[in-house]
């Protein structure tokens, strides 16, 4: 782990074997090395008058990698000046960039490879130089926050990267309990018997084909002082999505251990709420199950009765996320939240609409939309609004039940999935984030290797800091 120091003074006074200089004439992201009195200077292009956090994080990750390649152990930098002011949120972005870019999931690599990598040089220390005592206080806060955010992101990434044979619903439930004990929040775990009593027919229906018991995980963080809004966070926890009897083709199934990325992000958020001294009353709900085919599995044409009482005709067992979320969201309503937000790897259609980097945001509440867009902007994560089009609601009407779980149309799948969820949130202020694209990184980039990304953690934490 890199150690971060903060110092008031001049760059030249800092002892380090490398330092960063900003150059507004160079292309953003371009990094060149020059030498000065035996010291390596990383000249980083940064030509934006307006700060784009994602870009700054990427530049920072690149500097980290370059410095590592040059065997630099101590790096010093100041914030670039835009106009007369240093860039706001600079320290946060720089530290996040350096740390996020360092992440690796090596648990299952055999020892030999590990040993080779151990020898590799790493940046050990980064000193951020500021001009005034005031700036130092702000910078210190930003630095601490950034490190905690990254800890949470790494937990979410680890959970997504672990094989689904480990991260079963029971594993997630135990983890929630452990995190609760360590980080000062309450947990309650409901097993299948309790779910039956509660009438969670949709979650139980999805779980029918699996040998693993489904779990409904409830986490509650209530700070002693400053309780303001009650916010319910729901995370889709399908620990493996085969599609069920509507089986996925092999290439579509390959990455489906990531179908609990929403749950992973919510668990990660809870792991740092106390450390960040969040003031809101936050409740996390995770419906956790596998989606498997078997002689006991739910069949197309079956009808499930949800926690809300509404009945659902299951026409495609691969549209399982909306079923388990239906029960979780309507359970969430009973907690009378001011705001409810769900994170779910819900549809391939959302990836068709927005690509792999951007999550779809669905909400009818303009204030919540503005707050979430601002939180995402500050985190460097990308989300974009999509409509809850009323005209499409009738596509979800069933001949035999109150609703069917798929629209049966080729187009607008992300919207009809969101409209299905909307049936279960009553009048509560609610937002749905379809993270199917950005929850998983196919190629790897400056800020993350291939695999789980921990998407949503930083946006939700930024949102809660304001709550």
Total chain residues near Zn ion (CB under 5 A): 6
Q: How far is CA 169 from CA 97, 131, 192, 270, 459, in A?
A: 32, 50, 11, 17, 25
Q: Of 138, 248, 279, 382, which one is the catalytic site residue?
A: 248
Q: How many residues bind ligand BES (CB under 6 A)?
A: 15
In sequence order, which ranges of 127-260 are alpha helices (DSSP H)? 133-161, 169-183, 192-198, 201-207, 250-253
Q: Which stretch binds ligand BES (CB under 6 A): 141-149, 157-165, 166-174, 316-324?
A: 316-324
The reply on whether position 318 binds ligand BES by CB under 6 A is: yes
Q: Which of 167, 265, 345, 428 binds ligand BES (CB under 6 A)?
A: 345
Instruction: Please indicate whether residue 364 is annotated as part of the active site.
Output: no
150 CA to centre of own chain? 11
Binders of ligand BES among residues 412 to 441 (CB under 6 A) are 413, 436
Place of tokens 């919540």: 368
Is residue 319 at the binding interface for ligand BES, with CB under 6 A as the rule?
yes
Query: Quick one: which of 102, 220, 318, 342 contacts Zn ion (CB under 5 A)?
Result: 318
Place of tokens 């001049």: 10
CB of 417 to ligand BES, least distance (A): 7
Specify whether the CB–CB gap between 405 and 420 falls below 8 A: yes
Catalytic residue among 19, 145, 215, 322: 322
- Give me the residue whose beta carbon is nearest to ligand BES: 348
Q: Is 290 in the site for Zn ion (CB under 5 A)?
A: no
42 to 2, 19, 97, 139: CA distances (angstroms):
18, 6, 16, 22
Contact pick of 259, 290, 313, 441 for Zn ion (by CB under 5 A): 259
A 10 A CB-CB count for 357 gives: 15
Q: The tokens of 276 are what?
A: 């960040």
Q: Which is nearer to ligand BES, 42 or 362 (CB)?
A: 362
**Maximum CA pair distance of the chain?**
80
Catalytic site residue 248?
yes
The residue behind tokens 């760059």 is 11
Q: Which residues contact 202 (CB under 8 A, 6 or more apart)?
A: 304, 305, 306, 307, 312, 323, 324, 326, 327
23-40: burial string, b at 16+ Cβ within 10 Å, e else? eeeeeeeebeeeeeeeeb
Pick from ligand BES, Zn ion, none: which does 436 bind, CB < 5 to 8 A by kind? ligand BES
* Secondary structure letter of residue 207 according to DSSP: H
Q: Which is nearer to ligand BES, 152 or 439 (CB)?
A: 439
Q: Identify what 316 binds: Zn ion, ligand BES, none; CB under 5 to 8 Å per kind.
A: ligand BES
Element (H, E) at 239: strand 237-241
Q: Which of 79, 210, 265, 347 binds ligand BES (CB under 6 A)?
A: 347
Binding flag, residue 323, ligand BES (CB under 6 A): no
* Near ligand BES by CB under 6 A: residue from 209, 321, 332, 451: 321
DSSP-assigned beta bridge partners for residue 86 = 81
When the beta carbons of 154 and 440 are compared against ligand BES, the nearer one is 440
Calpha distance 438→261 (Å, rounded): 10
Given the complex with ligand BES, which of 278 and 415 has the nearer CB atom?
A: 415
Considering CB distances under 5 to 8 angstroms, the limit depending on partner class, which of Zn ion, ligand BES, none binds residue 413?
Answer: ligand BES
* Contact between 349 and ligand BES per CB under 6 A: yes
Question: Burial, 86: exposed, middle or buried (Cβ in 10 Å; 0-12, 13-18, 19+)?
Answer: middle
Q: Of 321 and 337, which CB lies nearer to Zn ion in the complex structure?
A: 321
Interacting partner of 162 out of ligand BES, Zn ion, none (Cβ under 5 to 8 A depending on kind) = none
Q: What six digits make up the tokens of 262?
A: 């929403």
**Contacted entry of ligand BES, Zn ion, none for residue 349, CB cut-off 5 to 8 Å set by kind:** ligand BES
Residue 313 interacts with ligand BES (CB under 6 A): yes or no: no
Angle between helices 413-422 and 321-333 (to 10 degrees): 30
347 binds, among Zn ion, ligand BES, none (CB under 5 to 8 A by kind): ligand BES
CB-side neighbour CA atoms (13 Å) of 88: 4
What 3-state class would DSSP assign to 327?
helix
Per partner kind, with CB cut-offs from 5 to 8 A, the member of ligand BES, Zn ion, none near residue 348 is ligand BES
Q: d(Cα 158, Cα 165) in Å, to the nearest integer?
A: 14
Compute the least distance from the CB of residue 233 to ligand BES, in Å.
Answer: 19
Contact flag: residue 465 with ligand BES (CB under 6 A): no
Tokens (6 digits) for 355: 């690509």
Question: Is 342 an interacting residue with respect to Zn ion (CB under 5 A)?
Answer: no
Residues near Zn ion, by CB under 5 A: 238, 241, 259, 318, 320-321
Residues near ligand BES, by CB under 6 A: 241, 259, 316, 318-321, 345-349, 406, 413, 436
Give catalytic residues, as residue numbers. 248, 322
């Amino acid at each position: 782990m890199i150690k971060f120091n903060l110092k008031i003074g001049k760059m030249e006074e800092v002892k380090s074997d490398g330092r960063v200089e900003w150059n507004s004439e160079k292309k953003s992201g371009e990094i060149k090395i020059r030498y000065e009195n035996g010291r390596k200077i990383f000249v980083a292009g940064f030509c934006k008058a307006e700060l784009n956090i994602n870009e700054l994080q990427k530049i920072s990750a690149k500097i980290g990698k370059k410095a590592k390649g040059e065997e630099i152990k101590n790096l010093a930098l100041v914030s670039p000046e835009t106009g007369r002011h240093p860039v706001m949120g600079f320290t946060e972005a720089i530290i996040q960039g350096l740390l996020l870019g360092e992440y690796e999931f090596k648990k299952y690599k055999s020892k030999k490879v590990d040993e080779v990598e151990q020898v590799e040089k790493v940046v050990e220390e980064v000193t951020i130089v500021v001009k005034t005592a005031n700036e130092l206080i702000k910078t210190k806060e930003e630095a601490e926050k950034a490190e905690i955010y990254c800890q949470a992101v790494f937990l979410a990434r680890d959970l997504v990267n672990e094989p689904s044979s480990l991260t079963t619903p029971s594993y997630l439930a135990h983890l929630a309990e452990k995190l609760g004990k360590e980080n000062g929040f309450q947990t309650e775990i409901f097993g299948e018997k309790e779910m039956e009593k509660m009438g969670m027919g949709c979650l139980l229906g999805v779980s029918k084909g699996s040998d693993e018991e489904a779990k409904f995980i409830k986490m509650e963080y209530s700070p002693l002082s400053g309780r303001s809004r009650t916010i319910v966070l729901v995370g889709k926890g399908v620990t493996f999505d085969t599609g069920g009897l509507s089986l996925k083709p092999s290439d579509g199934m390959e990455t489906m251990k990531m179908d609990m990325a929403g749950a992973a992000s919510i668990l990660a958020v809870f792991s740092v709420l106390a450390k960040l001294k969040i003031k809101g009353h936050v409740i996390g709900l995770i419906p956790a199950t596998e989606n498997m085919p078997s002689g006991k599995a739910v069949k197309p044409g079956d009808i499930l009765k949800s926690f809300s009482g509404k009945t659902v005709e299951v026409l495609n067992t691969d549209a399982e996320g909306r079923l388990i979320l239906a029960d979780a969201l309507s359970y969430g309503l009973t907690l009378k939240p001011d705001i409810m937000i769900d994170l779910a790897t819900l549809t391939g259609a959302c990836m068709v609409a927005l690509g792999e980097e951007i999550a779809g945001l669905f909400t009818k509440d303009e204030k919540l939309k503005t707050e979430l867009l601002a939180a995402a902007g500050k985190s460097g994560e990308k989300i974009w609004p999509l409509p809850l089009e009323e005209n499409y609601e009738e596509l979800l009407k069933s001949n035999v039940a109150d609703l069917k779980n798929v629209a049966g149309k080729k187009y607008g799948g992300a919207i009809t999935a969101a409209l299905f969820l909307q049936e279960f949130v009553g009048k509560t202020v609610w937002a749905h984030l379809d993270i199917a694209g950005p929850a998983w990184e196919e190629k790897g980039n400056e800020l993350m290797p291939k695999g789980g990304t921990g998407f949503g953690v930083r946006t939700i934490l930024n949102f809660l800091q304001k709550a």
